[in-house]
Structure 1
Amino acid sequence: MSDGGPFENLRTMMDRAHEYTDVPQNVFVRMKHPERTLRVGVPLLRDDGSEEIVEGFRCQFDSTRGPYKGGIRYHPDVTVEEVIAMAGLMSLKTALVDLQYGGAKGGVVVDPKELSRDEIKRVTRRYTEGIRRMIGPEMDIPAPDMNTGPREMAWVMDTYSMYEGYPVPEVVTGKPLELGGTPGRIEATGRGVAIITREFVEHVQGSLEDTTVAIQGFGNVGSWTAKILEEFGATVVAVSDVTGAIYDPDGLDVEAVFEHADAGGMLDSYDAEEEISNDELLRLDVDVLIPAAIADVITDDVAEDLRAEIVVEAANGPTTPAADRVLRERNIPLIPDILANSGGVIVSYLEWVQNTQEYAWTLEEVNEDLERRIVKGFDDVIRRADELGTPDFRVAAYAIAIQRIGTAHAYRGLFP
């Protein structure tokens, strides 16, 4: 099996799962195509007075079960194909954890590390203006993604609200608390990954205590995953960022590494027991490997050498279809991204509900609801894999999502 681009890979995985559903072929064909994709030219006014145009995208993949939902990412390597694939994954993710949402994704081709705060603000406002006619609290609700956060979401909300003439906090999630954000949103994706890791390790081994974990990627998701897994009793032995990886077979001081990264430090400047490469981290002899950075890092070559007992996908699409096959043949179980990293969209959903009701929940209530929903998603996947005899958990997860979306399509019919 060869690997194509991210959208082709998504369709390949959907095809594998379709045979475990009773979704009619004509409905399934529609489910594999995005409903609409917008490409916008975003004027960027630099601080020195010069101007340039950067590209931005917004894909609305499926709205059968509810409003579109998906993040906005800023990265120099963003492509329209990647945005479409991520929107498709979000459609499956929201269906898998049974949220009344569809799926979307946005992106701007820009490197925020090379922009000032004011330049990022101007890009965000012009991008928001470009997609403004597509978004809305009952139509499409953006959220943070790679290299965006509460600051950028506040600018999106403000730009949209200026056109409406009144504050519309429910147009976007992941906002600052003072603008209607919800406690627990920043760490939600990492918390969800940690909960899923705990549930699966306990399912196969009985206890998370002393389980060794390596995490590739120490951004928001990877760092919070490490922090919460350590609280759960796991031993995090390796983490990495773009500068390299650090390793201690006896366990890292996760709190110290977290504080170092939170202060803006890179891992190559951290005083570690041992420094290794990102590639070496992927091949460590550990109980759990968590890819939490970018797509396609676990290739078939990596999968052949992988020594972890379990893989939990915190990133979107970190495993290629060919690597999936290798891991399956080697009997290395993998928890797919659409389940493992769904904590973020679950808490985004809770924020949106609170905004629409003009009500706020406590951190404890948010975390309890997150755990309940994501554990139910995990139980659904384990049960469906057993009932259907699927070759792996990804197929089971996709089958659940495809069945739910397909059933919604069947009830709604085809208009006109």
Structure 2
Amino acid sequence: MSNLSYVPESNGAWQTYLAQVDRVAPYLEHLKDYINTLKRPKRALIVDVPIVMDDGTIRHFEGYRVQHNLSRGPGKGGIRYHPDVDLNEVMALSAWMTIKTAALNLPFGGAKGGIRVDPRSLSPRELERLTRRYTSEIGHIIGPQKDIPAPDVGTNPNVMGWIMDTYSSGQGHTVTGVVTGKPVHLGGSLGRIKATGRGVFITGQQVAQKIKLPLEGAKVAVQGFGNVGSEAAYLFANAKSKIVAIQDHTGTIFQPEGMDIEALKLHLAEHQGVAGFVGAEAISNDHFWYVEMDILIPAALEGQITVERAKKLSAKLVLEGANGPTYLDADDILIERGITVVPDVICNAGGVTVSYFEWVQDMASLFWSEEEINQRLDKLMIQAVNDVWKAANEKVCSLRTAAYILACERILRARKERGIYPG
């Protein structure tokens, strides 16, 4: 384990996060004396994950679990399986979880984990072995009152079930609260899979009203069409918006009159990607950013909205369904151009909010209906948007800066009031 304040990459996600914190410092008044708390992860664990492959060979993978800040409660954050996972990325994602949980006023700190692997290259049995070995390596720092993992890119409810079972085996009894995003019959919550996409829609709906952008007829472009992008697109389509462009790992499709989302769902079920959908034309991945649109939903990976793309983007509203999709310099350009950005730390917080509900249900062994889950989710998301909007108007700043101000005040106040042990 190591206590790290930086990693060598000069333009990585961690550096973007540090720059975001620096921008908030002038607004924190007396609490800024504690700001270095936010610039250093509390704990960073790098683990070797060896597994026996199906052909009998042994392969080694590198895994991570970073706990950025635990001042407000146990760590909370997903586990990512992706070939590009590295410490820089995981540190940044854990820090954004700290900000996100505080911005929503959830009783959690921020954490994140991952393994550098392409999960599609592994068989189901290899994926299970990888997950169980990784769990055994990080098991001593996770737990219902320590750090609660969840699904992220490349992981799913089945992976969470393996983590829960492996951790429970070490404890000698079933511990459902060690992870969220589990299968419902293993203590998971109804509404969890769709929660992040629903949160994107709810926050987008609220901010669209505030900037006088009618959803009916609005042209929406979606990058990333997994759980988040697909659910957000479905809800916007139900609100009579036009889904004009979609990009995923298979390619980009375009239909200026709006796509039939129900037909696209059937296509996805058969082909596992949007490429080849007969209800739209194929365009280049780069052209996606320059189609005529009113609302952009980046719901893939971080670092997608570059300076060049920000200069030409036609959207009036950007809803960050992914974590860290906008470079800092690009964010400035969007602000200068009058494009409203709903930042990731509130826009995509629907997932962690329902994860909180799942954790509460597991602790109480009392479960709610999906209708109750959605009602509670909508209420918290709307409150968060209103709080951030009010702070942005009072401080005369962007929604991102306002969200960071609220979150950092809550985190650093907790740090100050808890004190430093030993004194």
TM range (shorter): over 0.9
Secondary structure at 1:170's aligned position in 2?
A: helix
2:368 corresponding residue in structure 1: 361
**Shift of the alpha carbon at 1:255?**
1.5
Contact 1:3 1:320 in 2 (8 A): no
2:254 corresponding residue in structure 1: 247
**1:113 and 2:120 matched:** yes
1:164 corresponding residue in structure 2: 171
Contact 2:31 2:409 in 1 (8 A): no
CA distance in 1, matches of 2:210, 2:240: 16
Contact 1:226 1:236 in 2 (8 A): yes
AA of the residue aligned to 2:256? P
1:282 corresponding residue in structure 2: 289
2:27 corresponding residue in structure 1: 20
Match of 1:410 among 408, 412, 416: 416
AA of the residue aligned to 1:395? T
Identity of aligned residues (%): 44
Secondary structure at 2:149's aligned position in 1?
A: strand
Moved more, 317-326 or 23-32: 23-32
**1:204 and 2:205 matched:** no
Contact 2:276 2:282 in 1 (8 A): no
**Shift of the alpha carbon at 1:235?**
1.6
**Shift of the alpha carbon at 1:93?**
0.0
**Shift of the alpha carbon at 1:273?**
2.7
CA distance in 2, matches of 1:11, 1:94: 18
CA distance in 1, matches of 2:403, 2:290: 26
**Shift of the alpha carbon at 1:49?**
0.7
Runs ≥4 in structure 1, deviation > 6 angstroms?
A: none
Change (3 A) 1:375 1:404: same
Match of 1:76 among 67, 78, 83: 83
The 5 A counterparts of 1:210-289 are 210-289=217-296
Moved more, 19-28 or 355-364: 19-28
Secondary structure at 2:73's aligned position in 1?
A: coil
**Shift of the alpha carbon at 1:23?**
4.7
Secondary structure at 2:257's aligned position in 1?
A: coil
CA distance in 2, matches of 1:212, 1:57: 39
1:65 corresponding residue in structure 2: 72
CA distance in 2, matches of 1:23, 1:130: 40
Contact 2:31 2:413 in 1 (8 A): no
AA of the residue aligned to 1:104? A
Contact 1:10 1:89 in 2 (8 A): yes
Secondary structure at 2:217's aligned position in 1?
A: coil
2:189 corresponding residue in structure 1: 182
CA distance in 1, matches of 2:359, 2:266: 30
The 5 A counterparts of 1:81-96 are 81-96=88-103
**Shift of the alpha carbon at 1:3?**
7.4
Secondary structure at 1:93's aligned position in 2?
A: helix
Secondary structure at 1:268's aligned position in 2?
A: coil
**Shift of the alpha carbon at 1:243?**
2.1
**Shift of the alpha carbon at 1:206?**
5.5
AA of the residue aligned to 2:414? A
1:318 corresponding residue in structure 2: 325
1:239-265 per-position Cα deviation (integer Å, ceiling 9, x unaligned)? 111221111111100111123223443
- The TM-score with structure 1 as length reference comes to 0.97
**Shift of the alpha carbon at 1:280?**
1.4
Secondary structure at 1:187's aligned position in 2?
A: helix
Moved more, 43-52 or 24-33: 24-33
2:57 corresponding residue in structure 1: 50
Contact 1:23 1:403 in 2 (8 A): no
Contact 2:254 2:283 in 1 (8 A): yes
Contact 1:284 1:308 in 2 (8 A): no
CA distance in 1, matches of 2:74, 2:237: 36
Moved more, 111-120 or 262-271: 262-271
1:398 corresponding residue in structure 2: 404
**Shift of the alpha carbon at 1:104?**
0.1
CA distance in 2, matches of 1:236, 1:291: 13
1:103-126 per-position Cα deviation (integer Å, ceiling 9, x unaligned)? 000000110111000000000000
- The TM-score with structure 2 as length reference comes to 0.96
Match of 2:38 among 31, 34, 38: 31
**Unmatched runs of 5 consecutive residues or more in structure 2:** 1-8
Secondary structure at 1:257's aligned position in 2?
A: helix
**1:327 and 2:334 matched:** yes
2:17 corresponding residue in structure 1: 10
Moved more, 58-67 or 214-223: 214-223
Contact 1:189 1:342 in 2 (8 A): yes
Cα-Cα RMSD: 1.3
